[in-house]
């Protein structure tokens, strides 16, 4: 039963960050919550394995992201469509100007930036989650960061460049 207690603590700690990140990617809190619930439900069923991972939150996030993309496709909506005019919760990004700059990115760039800088996935994990090559992730991230650098040029902080050693 101790493993269930571990899962409950994990759920309390990880649920809100997963939902906030997915809301930023998809622009809809309902889509994010549905996907997060599926991800955590699958994690609970596989908790013996998932609980032993170095980053079980990353596993849940990837499962939830894939679920949301498939659900949107089944509904006939593109998971890469521009964001709807839905105002996400203020805590999705620390500052409104950063959130707005991220929301202005094309869908693929937005997803890569959220996964890298807000969720903390590696380039390989992003490639796996979005089902693209690592090279495509690198070029997409580079283009997104260049766009954000211009967008945020007059702001207090900029999105930092991916270090060369993290590009592998």
Instruction: Please name which of 91, 95, 101 lies closest in space to residue 151, comparing C-alpha atoms.
Output: 101
Interval 98-143: pLDDT, tens: 777 888 888 889 889 988 888 888 899 888 888 889 999 999 999 9
Collapsing DSSP to helix, strand or coil, 84 comes out as coil
> pTM for the complete prediction?
0.66
Phi, psi for 161 (deg, rounded to 5) = -65, 145
Distance of alpha carbon 113 from alpha carbon 111, whole angstroms? 6
pLDDT band with cut points at 50, 70 and 90 for residue 162: low
Collapsing DSSP to helix, strand or coil, 105 comes out as coil
Task: Set out the domains of the chain in order of their start, with CATH numbers.
Answer: 1-88 (no CATH), 93-168 (1.10.10.10)
pLDDT band with cut points at 50, 70 and 90 for residue 15: very high
Interval 74-109: pLDDT, tens: 888 766 554 444 344 444 445 667 777 888 888 889
């Amino acid at each position: 039963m101790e493993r269930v207690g571990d899962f409950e603590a994990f759920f309390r700690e990880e649920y809100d960050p997963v939902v906030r990140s997915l809301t930023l990617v998809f622009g809809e809190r309902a889509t994010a919550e549905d996907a997060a619930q599926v991800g955590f439900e699958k994690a609970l069923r596989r908790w013996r394995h998932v609980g032993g991972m170095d980053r079980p939150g990353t596993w849940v996030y990837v499962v939830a992201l894939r679920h949301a993309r498939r659900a949107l496709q089944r509904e006939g909506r593109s998971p890469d469509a521009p964001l709807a005019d839905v105002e996400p919760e203020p805590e999705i990004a620390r500052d409104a100007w950063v959130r707005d700059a991220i929301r202005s990115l094309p869908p693929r760039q937005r997803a890569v930036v959220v996964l890298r800088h807000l969720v903390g996935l590696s380039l390989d994990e992003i490639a796996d989650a979005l089902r693209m090559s690592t090279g495509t992730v690198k070029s997409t991230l580079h283009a997104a960061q260049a766009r954000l650098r211009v967008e945020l040029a007059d702001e207090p902080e900029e999105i930092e460049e991916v270090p060369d050693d993290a590009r592998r």
